Amino acid sequence: MTAHAPDQPAEPHSGTHGPLTGTLVVDLTRALAGPHAAMMMADLGARVIKIEAPGSGDETRTWGPPFVKGQDGQDVATYFLSCNRNKESVALDLKSDDGREVLTALIQRADVLMENFRPGTLDRLGFSAERLAELNPRLVLLSISGFGHDGPEGGRAGYDQIAQGEAGLMSLTGSGPEDPQRVGVPIGDLLSGMYGAYGVLAALLERERTGRGQVVRTSLLASIVGVHAFQGTRWTVAGQVPRAQGNHHPSIAPYGLFRCGAGSVQVACGNESLWRRLCTEFGLDPDAEGMATNAERVAHRELVIAALEEAFAPQTGEEVLARLAAAGVPAGKVRDLQEVYEWDQTRSQGLLVDVEHPTLGPVQLPGPPLRFFDHDGAEVTPTAHQSPPLLDEHGPAVRDWLQPG
Which is catalytic among the residues 27, 58, 189, 392? 189
Measure the CA–CA gap between 280 and 278, rounded to whole angstroms. 6
Q: What is the mean pLDDT of residues 340-366?
A: 95
In 252-351, the DSSP E strands lie at 255-259, 264-268, 331-332
pLDDT (tens digit per residue) in 368-393: 999 999 999 999 998 899 999 999 99
* pLDDT at residue 76 is higher than 50: yes
Q: Which sequence spans correspond to the domains of the chain?
A: 24-228+382-402, 255-337
pLDDT band at 14 (very low <50, low <70, confident <90, very high): low
pLDDT tens-digit map of 24-33: 999 999 999 9
Q: Which of these CATH numbers, 3.30.450.40, 3.30.1540.10, 3.40.50.10860, 3.30.420.60, describes 255-337?
A: 3.30.1540.10
Question: pLDDT (tens digit, 9 = 90+) per residue, 111-127?
Answer: 999 999 988 899 999 99
Average pLDDT score, the chain: 93
- Give the fold, CATH level 3, of 24-228+382-402: Rossmann fold (3.40.50)
Are 24-228+382-402 and 255-337 the same fold in CATH? no
> To the nearest whole percent, how much of the chain has pLDDT over 70?
96
Each residue of 96-106: pLDDT tens digit? 999 999 999 99
**Residue 13, pLDDT score:** 52
Q: Does position 2 have pLDDT exceeding 50, yes or no?
A: no
Average confidence (pLDDT) over 244-264: 95
Statement: residue 8 has pLDDT above 70: no
Beta bridge partners of 382: none
pTM of this prediction?
0.91
Tell me the C-alpha distance between 405 and 402, whole Å.
9
- Is the pLDDT score of 5 beyond 80? no
**Would you list the DSSP string of 353-380?**
EEEEETTTEEEEEE--S---B-TTS-B-
Q: What is the pLDDT of residues 236-246, one digit of tens each?
A: 999 999 999 99
Q: Is 93 a catalytic residue?
A: no
pLDDT > 60? residue 163: yes
CB-count burial class (<10 Å; 0-12, 13-18, 19+) for 44: buried
Judge contact between 258 and 266, C-beta under 8 A.
Answer: yes
Quote the CA–CA distance of 276 and 205 in Å, as a whole number. Answer: 47
Q: What is the mean pLDDT of residues 394-400?
A: 95
Q: Report helix, strand or coil for 188.
A: helix
Taking alpha carbons only, the member of 302, 263, 307 closest to residue 284 is 307
Strands 47-52 and 24-27: parallel
Please report which confidence band the pLDDT of residue 10 belongs to, taking 50, 70 and 90 as the band edges: low
Task: Kindly state the average pLDDT of the residues 43-69.
Answer: 95
The percentage of residues in the chain with a pLDDT greater than 90, rounded to a whole number, is 91
> What's residue 17's pLDDT?
83
In terms of phi and psi (left: phi > 0; alpha: psi -120 to 50; beta: otherwise), the region of 392 is left
